[in-house]
């Protein structure tokens, strides 16, 4: 199974973090792999393939159009570029130099986070409004100027923000598009349509997370004119005006000619990723969500049961049914003093093995480890449970026997 990694001498990991990019995202179903292999066996025109993929994304999301990207971060970068340049080839050629074009993207301070670098990466400047935990509508409205290219929205659950509908109403009053980062808003499946239904103009999803598509895939859905601007900023532009797929736009005076390679050319997507993402997305919307949830719950329960009764260890299960989490998750609270180990020590001991076992470290600073089941293969839950029990039991060996560790 792990053949190629074995030959390369690279160990595989048991991933109880979820579809984290640093751990290889997720594993792919054989149907997706098969589709990618078939895609690799012939050449196609990428603009034609993207148009067909975009139609399928549009049908699934309820948007006007769609576009496959090399991830949600690339989708955000391309969305920002598209909102700044629209179809103007001069502007497309000019990025990341934003002089003379609208280049400000407004964000609520409560929604600042590590992925907004993707918006800035194409030259956009973020303009923050509000407090770290509160934004008033007038703050957003007054920040809109002729330099505003877009408003970015990150539907974080942990901090209060203006609701998307309210942001959309204000933005559209000034014809400013709203970009939503929905990279991790799946499950539930309904969110594939929810942000578009709420009026967002471009929505970014990750393909390599819950959708279980290729790790380096994602997509945008949204307004057709903006998606076309995404394509112009992204596609290989070693083209001639006379034969270019969109030469009718030149004839009709919409554009003076094709741009050169845009800023998105460095975020290339292969035909294998486009096809893999589309097949994974089609499978994602057809899957039995209840059965999937039940499988995840069983894996979490297996870990919780194995840890039951261990001194210094308390397990809490949070679940979407009670709106505590998007995915059933086991939260393992450690009595660090009693165990003589910090949560970080436990994480390091788990990940140093072969296979390395990786748990969520989001709340490690509070002494809490998380087990997320999304990427656990069948049987992985036993490895997680066994290694946890071993590390947590060994931790309580007599203090005199424990050497100084760091």
Confirm or reject binding of residue 71 to ligand PLP (CB under 6 A).
yes
**Helix %, strand %, coil % of the chain (to 5):** 45, 15, 40
CB 162 within 8 A of CB 139: no
Which segment (43-51, 69-77, 121-129, 302-310) binds ligand PLP by CB under 6 A? 69-77
**DSSP letter at 207?**
S
CB of residue 43 to ligand PLP, shortest distance in Å: 26
What would the x/- binding string for ligand PLP be over residues 196 to 215, using CB under 6 A?
----------x-x-------
Confirm or reject binding of residue 184 to ligand PLP (CB under 6 A).
yes
Q: Are strands 202-206 and 218-222 parallel, antiparallel or unpaired?
A: antiparallel
Confirm or reject binding of residue 370 to ligand PLP (CB under 6 A).
no
Look at the block and give the residue holding tokens 């999304």.
374
Confirm or reject binding of residue 276 to ligand PLP (CB under 6 A).
no
Residue of 39, 92, 45 lying closest to 255 (CA atoms): 92
Look at the block and give the residue holding tokens 């973020």.
126
Residue of 184, 209, 292, 213 lying closest to 25 (CA atoms): 209
Q: Which is nearer to ligand PLP, 201 or 345 (CB)?
A: 201
What would the x/- binding string for ligand PLP be over residues 18 to 57, using CB under 6 A?
---x------------------------------------
Confirm or reject binding of residue 73 to ligand PLP (CB under 6 A).
yes
Distance CA 280, CA 148 (A): 36
Compute how many residues bind ligand PLP; rule: CB under 6 A.
11
Site for ligand PLP in 218-247 (CB under 6 A): 218
CB 222 within 8 A of CB 64: yes
Site for ligand PLP in 90-109 (CB under 6 A): none
Phi, psi of 129 (to 5 degrees): -130, 155
Confirm or reject binding of residue 264 to ligand PLP (CB under 6 A).
no
Task: By CB under 6 A, name the binding residues for ligand PLP.
Answer: 21, 71-73, 115, 181, 183-184, 206, 208, 218
């Amino acid at each position: 199974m792990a053949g190629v990694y074995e030959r390369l001498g690279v160990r595989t990991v048991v991933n109880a973090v979820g579809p984290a990019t640093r751990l290889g995202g997720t594993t792919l179903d054989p149907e997706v792999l098969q589709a990618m292999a078939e895609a690799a066996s012939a050449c196609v025109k990428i603009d034609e393939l993207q148009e067909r993929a975009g139609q399928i994304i549009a049908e699934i999301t309820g948007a006007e159009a769609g576009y496959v990207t090399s991830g949600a971060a690339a989708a955000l970068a391309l969305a920002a570029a598209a909102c700044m340049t629209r179809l103007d080839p001069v502007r497309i050629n000019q990025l990341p130099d934003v002089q003379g074009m609208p280049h400000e993207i407004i964000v609520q301070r409560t929604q600042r986070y590590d992925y907004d670098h993707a918006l800035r990466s194409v030259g956009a400047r973020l303009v923050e409004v509000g407090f770290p935990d509160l934004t008033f509508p007038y703050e957003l409205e007054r920040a809109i100027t002729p330099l505003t290219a877009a408003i970015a929205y990150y539907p974080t659950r942990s901090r209060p923000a203006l609701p998307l509908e309210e942001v959309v109403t204000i933005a559209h009053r000034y014809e400013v598009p709203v970009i939503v980062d929905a990279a991790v808003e799946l499950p539930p499946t309904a969110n594939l349509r929810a942000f578009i239904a709420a009026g967002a103009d471009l929505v970014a999803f990750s393909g390599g997370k819950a959708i279980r598509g290729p790790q380096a895939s994602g997509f945008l859905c949204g307004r057709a004119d903006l998606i076309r601007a995404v394509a112009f900023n992204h596609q290989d532009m070693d083209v001639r005006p006379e034969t270019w797929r969109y030469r009718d736009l030149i004839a009709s005076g919409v554009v003076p000619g094709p741009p050169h390679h845009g800023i998105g050319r460095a975020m290339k997507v292969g035909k294998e990723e486009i096809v893999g993402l589309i097949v994974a997305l089609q499978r994602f919307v057809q899957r039995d969500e209840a059965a999937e949830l039940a499988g995840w719950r069983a894996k979490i329960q297996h870990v919780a049961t194995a840890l039951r009764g261990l001194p210094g260890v308390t397990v809490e299960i949070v679940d979407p049914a009670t709106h505590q989490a998007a995915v059933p998750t086991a939260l393992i609270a450690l009595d660090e003093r009693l165990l003589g180990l910090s949560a970080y020590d436990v994480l390091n001991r788990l990940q140093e093995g072969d296979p390395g076992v990786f748990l969520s470290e989001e709340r490690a600073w509070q002494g809490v480890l998380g087990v997320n089941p999304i990427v656990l293969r069948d049987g992985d839950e036993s490895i997680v449970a066994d290694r946890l029990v071993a590390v947590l039991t060994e931790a309580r060996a007599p203090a005199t026997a424990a050497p100084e560790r760091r």
